[in-house]
Amino acid sequence: MDNSELQSGSVTFVHPIEEEFARILDYYGIEWEYEPHTFDLAWDDDGNVTEAFSPDFYLTNQDLYVELTTMRPKLITKKNRKIRRLQELYPDINIKLFKRSDLRDMMIKYGIDEHVENLIGTDAKKNGS
């Protein structure tokens, strides 16, 4: 999905931080797609996919996939393992993980820090994020 869909409201994001990230990309004119590809990571003996990974964004002009996580550092082991597996199986794929602290810093840098607790802090945790 390209960035024009955000402006028209047709993109449904899984997490509010994804919408904020898309707004920043739009502001700077960075073309993006939302969850455009799913990478198979593991298969059973019959060849059926048992594990897959869909990065949150693809920045088309940068040829870069971006995954955002608001999980606390001790809880991101599984996500890190999936990214390592993706890089093993698909070495030509460029991917960047933005962790909780990266997202907090980004929000402060771009002046949207008044929402930081709702999106990645204790309020987000209360809301199930």
Ordered by where they begin, the domains of the chain are 4-99 (3.40.960)
Q: What is the pLDDT of residue 2?
A: 47
Q: What is the pLDDT of residue 65?
A: 98
Question: Do the Cβ atoms of 71 and 100 come closer than 8 Å?
Answer: yes
Q: What is the pLDDT of residue 127?
A: 42
Mean pLDDT, 10 residues at a time, over the chain (129 residues)?
52 88 90 96 97 97 94 82 96 94 78 64 45
Under 8 Å CB-to-CB from 12, ≥6 apart: which residues?
none
80's enclosing H/E stretch is: helix 77-89
Q: What is the pLDDT of residue 66?
A: 97
- What is the chain's length? 129
Q: What is the pLDDT of residue 122?
A: 47
Calpha distance 101→26 (Å, rounded):
22
